[in-house]
Chain A
Amino acid sequence: MGKPSDLVQGTLDLLILKTLLLEPLHGWAIAKRIQQLSREVLQVQQGSLYPALHRLEHQGWIKARWAESETGRQAKFYALTTAGRSQLEKETANWNRLSTAINLVVGEA
């Protein structure tokens, strides 16, 4: 496990929303899922994960429900709301625009 890469500022929200698009997950699973999908490149720290989750919940993009987890313990599961879905689309489009632009610049050099 190498040194965890810093997440590009502001992309954590996008990653969380994207991860929740398939199914509701709890915080631990969200962190793990992001780690797996990025092939261990992106390590989400608890210190940023939970504030982000709570912020998204207060914004109304995601909603939370307590349910039994795979270990049999009660865990807080987060799910995407309708508003969150359209927010995800918006942020994805934004990200695509931004990464294309950056690629253009970097590829040019």
Chain B
Amino acid sequence: MRLVARTRMAFLSLFRRGSASMHLDDELQYHLERQIDENISAGMSAEHARQAALRQFGNPALLRDEALSTWTGVWLDSLFRDIRHVTRALVHAPGFTSIAVFIIALGIGANVALFTLVHRVLLNPLPYPEPDKLVSIYEHEPAQSSEHGYMPIDAGSFYEWQRASQGVADMALVSPFQGYSVSAEGGKLPEKIEAGMCSWNFFSVLGVNPALGRTFGPSDDSPSSEATVILSNAFWQRRYAGEPSVLGRRIWLDAKPYTVIGIMPESFVYSGAFGGNTVQVWTPIAHEFPPALMTTFEDHEAIGIARLRPGITLQALVSRLQAVQKEIKTGHPGPAVHTSVIGRSMLDDAVQDYKTPLYALLAATGCVLLIASMNVASLLVARIASRRKELAIRVALGGGWLRIMRERILESLLLSVAGGAFGLLLAGAAIQWLVKTRHDMNRIEAIHIGAVEIGFVVLAVLATALFAGLISAFSSKIKDVLDGLQDSSRTLASSRARAGLRRTLLVLEVSLTVVLLVGSGLLLKSYQRLRSTDVGVPIDNVLTLHFGLPEARYKTPVQRIAFFESVLSQVRAMPGVQSAGLVSAAPGQGYGGDDLVTVVEHPTLPKGTGLDLQIRGADPGYFSAIHLPIIRGRVFTSDERLDRANVVIISQKAAEMCFPGEDPIGRHIKITVDGRVGEVIGIVGDTRWNITQPIMGQMYWPILGNDWVNVALIVRSSSNVSAFAMPIQKVIGSLDPDLPVSGVGTIRESIAKATIDSQFDSLLILAFAVIALVLAAAGLYGVLTYLVTQRTSEIGIRIALGARREQLLGTVLFDGLRPALIGLLLGLGASALAVRLIRSMLYQTEPFDPVVFASVAALLLLVATLACMIPAWRASHLDPIRALRTE
């Protein structure tokens, strides 16, 4: 009740001001009349009574004001008045306002976009119940310090671990990098899809339920059970239009029938370091993997996940598994059996690759926002300086100092709110663009602007407003303001002090800019290095298309080879095609598998060691088609196939690894796993499987044999090779209408994809650095112009007294360049510390690259000089007569 009454009163005093004041006057008038009446009845004359009453009453206007001031909501009223006042002032300075709003919008927009990214990708919990209990388990080879040490695991070890971890954790096995060909059905095209094979308890360990149907049970997860499949929501919507009747139906994967038993909800996604977020269907692993693969310790095709029981730490689980793995290694000392176990939280597993770049970008946008608010603060200080007389008069007339402070802060708050609103729009657009360009990124699907992000915007707006507002408010102390009244235009002390504050801000701005420039310079250089890295073959005008022959339909090697050859002959016959070839994995298009080998002629290596070579299958025409240089020996002949496919071509790097200082031709290589032996017949050039990774030794076996089913067709033409994509797909379709073709693209495109991270990071940070540079230059220009305007008469006098113009130019220029120079030195120092943090993002580039540091220094000095040149030149060309008259 009381609240209602109070609100009503506040409302009345705010919006019914007129009638409320009238009532107050009536009330006071009534009191006065009663007093007069009383005085008359006490025996005074009417005139006397009236005067006595008024005397006793005091000043009616003051009384009225005092009563008014007790009304609630009055402070709000004066706030509204201030807002109106400030808004009017801002509207009257559209240039200043729009520049300030634009600067803030840029700063806040970039920050919100990056914050959203960091928050949603790195910090937001995974979409499972109790996600902090979920961990990913890998194997690790301490001696073989590969990239990050998290290596896929073998199914044999996994099941040993699962037994050992009972009561401590629930473990599931998943192989998220598999694939199927879905057959054409009911007018739908055949297609290749990504698939995940998992142990039956995968979904229950994650704690997710299907949207329709059921998940796997133990009876689905064995070689003898009926084939079952669970569809992802996206695949269900896309291929089956969200039709519930697909449940229980059969679909054909790799030409074999599978019963659809469940459909996952839209929210379900699994993201790990080895992929998973693009998986379209899930199948039970024991049914899909050959039995040998389910028990081996030597073939690493999966990842372990575990849900820790309450009170169990990741460390405890790993050390328990470590003990098991040690026993396994003792019992199976083979070279491919890993020695240790390593684990990390599932969230870290999903986002590890993005952590450093995203935090680096966030730091960069933070710098931009800081520079932006410094610039706005500097603009506000300049604005105050030009309004000193006005302020001084207001203070002299009794305007409260707090009131004037409040106005300053309100001013910057209004600017920040407008900037924040535009910034939010900018961020929204940026995020949409990002989700579109970076769908390769794990967890990108989780990105959206939500309540937390809006909260961040509000915080950013408030921080910017306070920062800029307080600096401008404190820049003019009350004493200085009153001095303004005594100032003649020739006294410069206080305006100089104010410029000093702006100079300090400038030094900070410049140093932050230098840090950003150095960072972006290093990343750009690293990107250039990456782009110019040679994949090993000319990459222009080479088209690749991938297809895999389902073993259910192409049962014998002869059938497969016949298909390969008819594709090759038809494609080679197409007009405009220069050459074509088949390979299991084209350069720059993926790892393609590796095997440990030994040289037959060499003494047996100690157990547990071997030479690791990437394995490739190729047809005789591949080497000339891809323009891979043949260094020694020859390539395959067309009759080296099937039973006679026991020849091998090795890359230069492989030759150095396996045959140091001897001639490999005629020697024999043996693959450890299956005991295959091949005679080395030639040496070819090295190719890279990924542009960002070091070269590995490679061996090529004839693809017309050796059980290859998944192949890449590579086609070279003299120009516009992409135009052949459709006709070639038609050729394949005419040979087998059920065979999906995937991964159609040029090698140049695959390489661009591999460098997208580097391109993305370096270009974004470059953009932020350029923004910072422009802001810093504008800041320099602004401060110097202001100083010159302040000193117009002084300069006029100097010129009149005979100062040389060059000398003046030098003085003013140096005045402006000094903060830039100090900032540059500070910035270079700060960069030296900051670049360590982005070391992991650099490719063949040292953090202390002298060229980058030197060019940043040169660029900054150049821009600073240009920014200072204009006001300096203007000052040195002042007409002394006019300058002296401006007073």
Chain B residue, CB-CB nearest to A81 = B5
| Structural contact, B31 and A28, CB atoms closer than 8 A | yes
Please, how many angstroms separate the alpha-carbon atoms of A55 and B35 in the complex? Answer: 23
Name the residue on B nearest A74 (C-beta): B26
Output the least CB separation between A1 and chain B (Å): 11
Are B70 and A58 interface neighbours, CB within 8 A? yes
Q: How far is the CA of A24 from the CA of B67 in the complex (A)?
A: 20
Verify A71–B34 contact, CB threshold 8 A.
yes
Instruction: Tell which of A14-22, A43-51, A97-105 binds the partner.
Output: A43-51
The stretch among B6-14, B112-120, B219-227, B253-261 that forms the contact with chain A is B6-14
Q: Check A57–B9 contact: CB distance below 8 A.
A: yes
Which A10-57 residues have a C-beta within 8 angstroms of B?
Answer: 26-28, 45-47, 50-55, 57
Indicate if the CB atoms of A83 and B34 lie closer than 8 Å: no
Cβ contacts under 8 Å, B24 to chain A: 50, 54
Does A94 have its Cβ within 8 Å of any Cβ on chain B?
no
A17 CB to nearest B CB, Å: 14
Q: B1-45 toward A: CB 8 Å interface, digit per residue (1/0)?
A: 111011001100100000000011011101101110100000000
Decide: A50 near B71, CB < 8 A? Known: A58-B6, A60-B2.
no
Contact assessment for A50 and B1 in the assembled complex, using a CB-CB cutoff below 8 Å:
no
Contact indicator A83/B2 (Cβ below 8 Å) = yes
Question: Is A50 within 8 A of B67, CB to CB?
Answer: yes
Q: Once the chains bind, are A73 and B9 in contact (CB under 8 Å)?
A: no
B72–A27 touching, CB < 8 Å? no
Given known pairs A28-B30, A71-B37, A76-B30, the reply for A47 and B66 (CB within 8 Å) is: yes
> Is the Cβ of B30 less than 8 Å from the Cβ of A63?
no
Contact A76 B5 (CB under 8 A): no
In the assembled complex, which residues on chain B have CB atoms less than 8 Å from the CB atom of A26? 27, 30
Residue in A51, A69, A81, A83 whose CB lies within 8 Å of B67: A51
Pairwise interchain contact B6-A73, C-beta atoms closer than 8 A: no
B70:A54 contact, CB within 8 angstroms: yes
User: Is B501 engaged at the interface, CB distance under 8 Å to the other chain?
Assistant: no
Q: How far is the CA of A27 from the CA of B57 in the complex (A)?
A: 13
Q: Is the CB of B30 within 8 A of A50?
A: no
Question: B1 contacts which of A71, A75, A82 (Cβ < 8 Å)?
Answer: A82
The minimal Cβ–Cβ distance linking A48 to chain B, given in whole angstroms, is 9
Range for the number of chain B residues in contact with chain A: 20 to 34
Contact A58 B13, CB 8 Å, known A47-B66, A50-B27, A51-B66: yes
Q: Chain A, interface size: which category?
A: 20 to 34
> A50 touching B9 by the CB < 8 A rule?
no
Instruction: Convert B206-242 into 0s and 1s, putting 1 for each residue whose CB lies closer than 8 angstroms to a CB of A.
Output: 0000000000000000000000000000000000000
- Tell me if A's interface is mostly helix, strand, loop or mixed: helix
**In contact, B31 and A60 (Cβ under 8 angstroms):** no
Contacts of B30 in A (CB 8 A): 26-28, 69, 73-76
A46 contacts B58, C-beta separation under 8 Å: yes
Q: Identify which of A28, A45, A54, A83 contacts B71 (C-beta below 8 A).
A: A54
Say yes or no for B69: interface residue by CB 8 A criterion: yes
Q: Is the CB of A81 within 8 A of B70?
A: no
Chain A residues whose CB sits within 8 angstroms of the CB of B28 once the complex forms: 46, 50
- B58 contact set on A, CB distance < 8 A: 45-47
> Which secondary structure dominates chain B's binding surface?
helix
Contact yes or no, A58 B72, CB < 8 A: yes
- Distance of B103 from chain A, by nearest CB (Å): 43
B862 at the interface (CB under 8 A from A): no
A54 to chain B, nearest CB (A): 5
Bound-state Cα–Cα, A27 to B32, Å: 11
| Cα–Cα, bound, A28→B30 (Å) | 8
Q: Measured between alpha carbons, how far is A45 from B23 in the docked complex, in Å? A: 20
Question: For residue B69, which residue of chain A has the nearest CB?
Answer: A51
Q: Which residues of the partner chain B approach A63 to less than 8 Å between Cβ atoms?
A: 5
**B63 proximal to A (CB < 8 A):** yes
Interchain nearest-CB distance for B54 vs A (Å): 11
Query: In chain A, what residue has the closest Cβ to B31?
Result: A28
Closest to B8 in A: A60
Chain B residues with Cβ below 8 Å from A60 are 1-3, 5-6, 9
Inter-subunit contact A76/B13 (CB<8 Å): no
Decide: B71 and A58 in contact? CB cutoff 8 A: yes
Q: Which residues of chain A are within 8 angstroms of B31 by Cβ–Cβ distance?
A: 27-28, 46, 50
Please tell me if the beta carbons of A51 and B70 are within 8 angstroms of each other in the complex: yes
* Chain B residues, CB < 8 A from A57: 9
Cα distance, A69 to B30, chains bound together (Å) = 10
Judging by beta carbons under 8 Å apart, are B71 and A81 in contact? no
CA distance A22 to B711 in the complex (A): 101
Q: How far is the CA of A79 from the CA of B33 in the complex (A)?
A: 22
A45–B28 Cα gap in the complex (Å)? 12
- The reply to whether A59 and B63 form a contact with Cβ atoms under 8 Å apart is no
Given known A27-B31, A46-B57, contact A76–B26 (CB-CB < 8 A)? yes
Complex Cα spacing A27 to B56, Å? 15
* CA distance in complex: A42, B778 (Å): 69
Cα A73 to Cα B9 in complex, Å, equals 25
**Which residue of chain A lies nearest to B5 when distances are taken between CB atoms in the complex?**
A60
Q: Is the CB of B67 within 8 A of A54?
A: yes
Let me know if B67 and A73 touch, CB within 8 A. Answer: no
Q: Name the residue on B nearest A27 (C-beta).
A: B31
**CA A58 to CA B530, docked complex, whole Å:** 72
A52 to B, closest residue via Cβ: B70
A107 to B: closest C-beta gap in Å = 37
Q: Which residues of B contact A76 (CB under 8 A)?
A: 23, 26-27, 30
Chain A residue with Cβ nearest B3: A60
Q: Interface digits, B626-658 against A, CB 8 Å rule (1 contact, 0 not)?
A: 000000000000000000000000000000000
Contacts of A71 in B (CB 8 A): 34, 37
CB-CB < 8 A to B71: which residues of A?
A: 54, 58
In Å, the complex CA distance between A55 and B3 comes to 15
Which residues of chain A come closer than 8 Å to B33, judged between CB atoms? 73
State A43–B549 Cα separation when bound (angstroms). Answer: 107
Q: Give the most central of A45, A51, A81, A83: most B CB within 10 Å.
A: A51
**Residues of chain A within 8 A of B5, CB atoms compared:** 60, 63, 81, 83
Specify which chain A residues have a CB less than 8 angstroms from the CB of B23 in the assembled complex: 66, 76
Across the A-B interface, give the 9 residue pairs with the lowest CB-CB distance, nearest first: A60-B5, A55-B70, A60-B2, A83-B2, A28-B34, A58-B72, A50-B67, A54-B70, A51-B66
Sample of 12 more A-B contacts, CB < 8 Å, known A28-B34, A73-B33, A83-B1: A46-B56, A46-B57, A47-B63, A50-B28, A53-B67, A58-B10, A58-B70, A59-B2, A60-B1, A63-B5, A81-B2, A83-B2
List chain B positions with a Cβ less than 8 A from chain A: 1-3, 5-6, 9-10, 13, 23-24, 26-28, 30-31, 33-35, 37, 56-58, 62-63, 66-72
13 contacts between A and B (CB under 8 A): A27-B31, A46-B57, A46-B63, A47-B63, A50-B27, A54-B68, A60-B6, A66-B23, A71-B37, A76-B27, A81-B2, A82-B1, A83-B5
Point out residues on A near B: beta carbons under 8 Å.
26-28, 45-47, 50-55, 57-60, 63, 66, 69, 71, 73-76, 81-83
